[in-house]
Homo-oligomer: A and B are copies of this chain.
Amino acid sequence: MQTVNIGILGLGTVGGGTAQVLRDNAAEIARRLGRNVSVFMVSTRNVGKAFKVCPDALFTTDPFEVVAHPDVDIVVELFGGSETAKDLVLQAIENGKHVVTANKKLLAEHGNEIFALAAKKNVMVHFEAAVAGGIPIIKALREGMSANRIKSVAGIINGTSNFILTQMREQGQSFADALKLAQSLGYAEADPTFDIEGHDAGHKITIMSALAFGTPVNFGACYLEGISRLESRDIKYAEELGYRIKLLGITRQTEAGIELRVHPTLIPECRLLASVEGVMNAVRVDADMVGETLYYGAGAGALPTASAVVADIIDISRMIGADTANRVPYLAFRADNVREQPLLPMDDIVSSYYLRVRAADRAGVLGGIANLLAEQGISIEALIQKAVLDDNQAEIVILTHSTVERNIKAAINAINAHECVSAPVVMIRMESLAQTR
Which residues of A come within 8 Å of B, CB atoms?
Answer: 17, 21, 24-25, 28-29, 31-34, 128, 134-136, 139-140, 143-149, 214, 270, 272, 275-276, 287-298, 301, 303-304, 306-311, 313-315, 318-319, 321-323, 325-329, 332-334, 337, 437
Closest residue to A310 on the B side, CB-wise? B147
A25 touching B275, Cβ below 8 Å = no
When chains A and B are docked, how far (Å) is the Cα of A35 from the Cα of B170?
A: 51
Number of identical monomers bound together in the oligomeric complex = 2
Nearest residue, chain B, Cβ from A135: B293
For the complex formed, measure the closest distance between the CB of A241 and the CB atoms of chain B, giving whole angstroms.
19
A143 touching B315 by the CB < 8 A rule? yes
Q: Are B294 and A293 in contact (CB under 8 A)?
A: no
CB distance from A3 to the nearest CB of B (A): 14
Q: Which residues of B contact A146 (CB under 8 A)?
A: 29, 32-33, 310-311, 314-315
Nearest CB in chain B to that of A20: its residue: B289
Nearest residue, chain B, Cβ from A136: B144
| Assembly CA distance A298 to B307 (angstroms) | 26
- Please indicate the chain B residues that have their CB under 8 angstroms from the CB of A321 in the complex: 323, 325-326
Residue numbers in B under 8 Å from A148 (CB-CB): 25, 28, 307
Task: Name the distance in Å between A274's Cβ and chain B's nearest Cβ.
Answer: 9
Question: What are the residues of chain B within 8 A of A301 when measuring CB–CB?
Answer: 291
**Are A144 and B311 within 8 A (Cβ)?**
yes
Is the beta-carbon distance between B287 and A307 smaller than 8 angstroms?
yes
Cα of A276 to Cα of B296 in the assembled complex, Å:
13
| A31-B333, A139-B139, A296-B293 known; A323+B325 contact, CB < 8 A | no
Determine the chain B residues whose CB is within 8 A of the CB of A437 once the complex forms. Answer: 303
Q: How far is A345 from B21 in the complex, measured between Cα atoms in Å?
A: 32
Let me know if B311 and A145 touch, CB within 8 A.
Answer: yes
Q: Which of B17, B21, B136, B337 sits near A140, CB closer than 8 Å?
A: B136
Query: Chain B residues near A318 (CB, 8 Å)?
Result: 325-328
A314 to B147, CA, bound (A): 8
A306, B128: Cα distance in complex, Å: 25
| A230 → B minimal CB distance (Å) | 24
Chain B residue numbers with a CB within 8 Å of A313 are: 147
Tell me, in angstroms, the Cα distance from A311 to B139 when the chains sit together.
12
Q: Is the CB of A297 within 8 A of B289?
A: no
Q: Are B143 and A31 neighbours in the complex by a CB distance under 8 Å?
A: no
Q: Which residue of B lies closest to A331 (CB)?
A: B32
